[in-house]
Structure 1
Amino acid sequence: MSSNSIENTIEDSSSGNDEPHQPMLLHKQPSQEPVISSELEDVLSDTSLPYLKRLRRATFIELRILFKLAGPAVVVYLLNNVISMSTQILCGHLGNLELAASSLGNNGIQTFCLRPYARDGECGGDTMWPSIWGAQPLLILLGESDTIASAAGIFVYGLIPQIFAYAANFPIQKFLQSQSVIFPSAYISGGVLVVHLLLSWIAIYKLGWGLLGASLVLSLSWWVLVGAQFVYILVSGKFKHTWNGFSLQAFSGLWEFFKLSIASAVMLCLETWYYQILVLIAGLLKDAETALDSLTVCMTISGWVLMISVGFNAAASVRVSNELGAGHPKSASFSVVAVTLSSFIIALVPGHCCALTSPCDELRLHWWQHHCGCRRRTLSFLGHLYFTEWSPACVYPVRCVAVGCGWQAFVAYVNVGCYYFIGIPLGCVLGFKLDFGVKGIWSGMIGGTLFQTIILLWVTFRTDWNKEVEKATKRLNIWDNIEKPLLKD
């Protein structure tokens, strides 16, 4: 329905016409205009300009848009990651066992609960209850030591409320990100981090609640984060056109939503489970407690660095999908190159800075661990970590380019082959058969990620973007031509 017809309808009703001409459902306007740059397409299509001049102008335009989208998202992801990381740091100061237990418990929770929330943000809790209460025997069944499994089971009990917070947080976060409302989330995350550190210190050290206190405070902090974001949505006037309150209409179309999101859920689960399974495998090594501690520290440092790439994920998906929907094939192609190179370069900077300041590693690791033997083992692993960050940094943006193009099913197949037929077997061979230990498991993980990166980069840069624009246009035309009334006569 055009804007002119809506205006005419309103004028008829206000002029005393008793017939109900007002439509039953109006197209809601977004809170903010989407970021779509026709200027970039014009510059790339202007053959009168020299190639280098076009490249320079296009790069400036794209980076300006990209960093405007990715910058606040990176801050949000970093702060949320530090909330969980700080809990593990505090547990590490209780002892090696506590650090290993918190890592194993937290990774086990994510392994089992990611499938429900990825499929449907409201159903994570019910699926997780049996897994939580059976955490200790399940870990023992998987071959973990009784001591670590028992401590991890205690830590997991305190994470029960966090599961429901996850289920509520992800839809709220995506709702805000889709409208480029990111700075409020960053401010909220920063405030929650301060509260979390204070409460964790009180619960762990002053009240002596140990692992259970650490996990309970972590759950509470996530609920504070969810509640603060939800209150912001309620009191802010930015969302009056996009959310009018709770309604039974939210339960309509769930089957269509499920069919649309199942490929994304499978893709995300296969990728996240891969990293969590490697942690479980590390628990089977000799001296599992020290191995888990070393891998936990290194994976957390790696995850913190890769939050930059994760922040670029959202920007990559938004940029590519917007340009395809706007009919800009050259802009979509250029955005892929820009976001991949930007994420690659920026993610390498922290790793190389840490490598250059490696004499300070002993001091940095003192934040995590008191045990000198564990610190020495972790120190020997950090150099290997610093120079293997580039592969995940490349694959994250390319994966989200695939999401923007609708290739989720293809990426899921790639994940199965690269992660579960290359990465995990290679890590087991290097870690157990060749006795490389944690370094071998990490090398296997990087090997699987490297194969995934090569395949996705090859497919992405061979893509016919004109055809992708045609596909996107067809999808938009289908949705534009479908009008479903809310009520039937």
Structure 2
Amino acid sequence: MDNSKSNPVAVNVVNGHSKSDEASVTESTVESPVFCCGCLRRIRGWIPVHYKEEIGQILKLAGPVVISQLMIFLISFVSTVFCGHLGKTELAGVALAIAVINVTGLSIGSGLASACDTLISQTFGSGNMNRVGMILQRGVLILLLACFPCWALLINTEPILLAVKQSPEVARLSQLYVMIFMPALPIMLCFFLQGIIWPTVLVGVVGNILNALINYIFLYVLDLGVAGSAAANSISQYSLAVFLYCYIVWQGLHKATWEGWSADCLQEWGQFITLAIPSMLMLCLEWWTYEIGGFLAGLISEVELGAQSVVYQLAVITYMFPLGFSVAASVRVGNALGAGNTEQAKLSGKVASICAFIVSCFVSTFVLVTKDGVMGGVVRGAGKQKIGALCNLVGYYFIGFPIGVSLMFPNKMGIIGLWIGLFTCVLIQSLFLVVLLCKLDWKKASQEALVRAGVQLPERKEEQFGLEMRGNIPAVPYILNPMVPFILNPMVPHILNATVPYILNHTVPHILNPTVPFILNPTVPYILNLKVHIF
């Protein structure tokens, strides 16, 4: 009798071992997850302990940032989707309006605000919490002032679009959308300054639900068209700010760093602007390239413009993943440099880049070449925005953009040619930034961070008390005449020797802390001890 027929379990011989079909199916079902878990355990075993800890910290920051940025972006995206049902002309008008707002408003504000990525992260890492609030106040004032030139450009949206050969009807609709959205610009710019993550996620969810509801009412119930969509977007931006403010006050998140408005916020604007301008250029030079692509697509046809808008929106959604790691890298590197821990700063930069690369492999090929976004976060955390801005200028406007435009028009490849050029640019940039960060002097970056955080004096060469004080030889004692009063410069903090009592106001001896800058009163003559170490 045939055993295969008499026995319900047929026997197979594999590699000399007899197993039943049912048994093999059962074993494979049981062993597969066990095998996968074993592989994961082996992989975790290969990762050093300090890398594991840093991966956890990076993911804790990057995950919520991705979600929060996605929530903010979806407000404009949802408005575009609603307008797409009105017609292709309305869709093109809204797409160009959002591009104009991004180029002349959001990119500038976001770039200026990214100076806080460096200053606040480094100051927070140093433990100087009061200074964090001062930096925030300066940022708010500078961004509010930046709104005026942005408004001047937004008011002239229609003439600008007509000058670049856009359709008159599309230009008119874009002007209408921009004019209604303009009051929301200050709120959006100041929104970039906040750094709390999970509250932004929760507020973003509520704001998007409200935005979709208002868009539906204004467009389909009240039939307000493009004007209704712009009003819905503006109202949603204000709702985000109001909800977030209420949450901060309710939870008391501001108490550690905010002591109220102070006149001190009007000082040290030079340090902020020195970082803000390169930060703005670093972001804008990249951002404007993609927005200009929309204008170029509009020169071909409204269909190409609509296609470019959709592709760009999808690319932005995909880019949220490296953006999250970019913010995480900027925060971790800045905190480490502010604390004077150069090894931790290097580790944070490496881990953020590795995590972004791994995630990119699972997300899309497009994100794979946007590793420069993560490296850009490390550059901001290290305070090297000038190099990043120069890299973006050369990469996009001397390499990527010429290639893309050449393929777009002479070769008649449309927006496909444009994206090929941008792809080439980003790939080259990624390689350059990796080399840059491998060669970076982290000790020098840490010293610069401590100066920005206000816990270390900058090296300076100047004449004081008739003696030359050189920053590279800080331990040289200077013999001062104990009988001659000196009036010191009030703008230069002096760290005095902690072991020498100083007679201030002629009568009271003070032992000063060597780590705290002591600013002397310019109107009071001080008689100093015979031997003074001035660092």
Normalised by the shorter chain, which TM-score bucket? Answer: 0.7 to 0.9
Aligned residues of 1:96 and 1:289 also touching (Cα < 8 A)? yes
- Report the CA distance between 1:196 and its aligned residue: 0.8
Quick one: higher RCO (CA 8 Å, sep 6+), 1 or 2? 1
Who is 2:96 aligned against?
104
- Report the CA distance between 1:488 and its aligned residue: 7.9
Asked whether 1:306 is paired with 2:298, we answer no
Task: Tell me the distance in 1 between the aligned counterparts of 2:192 and 2:277.
Answer: 16
- Report the CA distance between 1:169 and its aligned residue: 1.3
Asked whether 1:118 is paired with 2:118, we answer no
- Report the CA distance between 1:322 and its aligned residue: 2.2
Task: Tell me the distance in 2 between the aligned counterparts of 1:257 and 1:454.
Answer: 29
Who is 2:3 aligned against?
none
Task: Tell me the distance in 1 between the aligned counterparts of 2:178 and 2:57.
Answer: 41
2:171 alignment partner, one of 149, 153, 168: 149
2:408 alignment partner, one of 431, 443, 446: 431
2:335 alignment partner, one of 322, 335, 339: 322
Task: Tell me the distance in 2 between the aligned counterparts of 1:132 and 1:466.
Answer: 44
| Equivalent residue runs for 1:436-451 within 5 Å | 436-451=413-428
Cα distance per residue 1:100-121 (max 9 Å; x no partner): 1111111111111233563332
Task: Tell me the distance in 2 between the aligned counterparts of 1:80 and 1:473.
Answer: 33
- Report the CA distance between 1:426 and its aligned residue: 1.1
Who is 2:87 aligned against?
95
- Structure 1 unpaired stretches of 5+: 1-51, 352-386
- Report the CA distance between 1:415 and its aligned residue: 0.9
- Report the CA distance between 1:403 and its aligned residue: 0.9
Asked whether 1:345 is paired with 2:367, we answer no
- Report the CA distance between 1:132 and its aligned residue: 2.1
Partner amino acid, structure 1, of 2:418? I
Asked whether 1:237 is paired with 2:272, we answer no
Who is 1:207 aligned against?
222
Q: Residues 471 and 53 (structure 1 numbering): CA distance in 2 closer, same or farther, change over 3 Å?
A: farther
- Report the CA distance between 1:54 and its aligned residue: 7.3
Cα distance per residue 1:439-482 (max 9 Å; x no partner): 01111122222221121112122334455445545665227653
Task: Tell me the distance in 2 between the aligned counterparts of 1:281 and 1:481.
Answer: 55
Who is 1:391 aligned against?
369
Q: Which has the higher strand share?
A: 2
Task: Tell me the distance in 1 between the aligned counterparts of 2:204 and 2:335.
Answer: 28
Asked whether 1:135 is paired with 2:157, we answer yes
Aligned residues of 2:99 and 2:294 also touching (Cα < 8 A)? yes
Task: Tell me the distance in 2 between the aligned counterparts of 1:463 and 1:292.
Answer: 41
Matched residue count: 394
- Report the CA distance between 1:295 and its aligned residue: 1.0
- Report the CA distance between 1:151 and its aligned residue: 2.1
TM-score (norm 2): 0.69
Partner amino acid, structure 2, of 1:231? C
Task: Tell me the distance in 2 between the aligned counterparts of 1:204 and 1:326.
Answer: 52
Partner amino acid, structure 2, of 1:106? I
Q: Residues 252 and 323 (structure 1 numbering): CA distance in 2 closer, same or farther, change over 3 Å?
A: closer
Cα distance per residue 1:48-76 (max 9 Å; x no partner): xxxx9674323311111111122222211
Partner amino acid, structure 1, of 2:363? P
Task: Tell me the distance in 1 between the aligned counterparts of 2:145 and 2:208.
Answer: 27
Percent of aligned pairs with the same residue?
28
Asked whether 1:405 is paired with 2:394, we answer no
Cα distance per residue 1:155-176 (max 9 Å; x no partner): 22222122122232122x2xxx
Task: Tell me the distance in 1 between the aligned counterparts of 2:250 and 2:353.
Answer: 37
CA RMSD of superposed structures (Å): 2.5
Q: Residues 469 and 104 (structure 1 numbering): CA distance in 2 closer, same or farther, change over 3 Å?
A: same
- Structure 2 unpaired stretches of 5+: 1-43, 113-141, 459-514, 525-535
Who is 1:169 aligned against?
191
Q: Residues 279 and 487 (structure 1 numbering): CA distance in 2 closer, same or farther, change over 3 Å?
A: farther
Task: Tell me the distance in 1 between the aligned counterparts of 2:377 and 2:215.
Answer: 35
Task: Tell me the distance in 2 between the aligned counterparts of 1:223 and 1:419.
Answer: 34
1:482 alignment partner, one of 517, 521, 526: 517
Task: Tell me the distance in 1 between the aligned counterparts of 2:520 and 2:403.
Answer: 55
Partner amino acid, structure 2, of 1:238? L
Partner amino acid, structure 1, of 2:148? D
Task: Tell me the distance in 1 between the aligned counterparts of 2:110 and 2:349.
Answer: 28
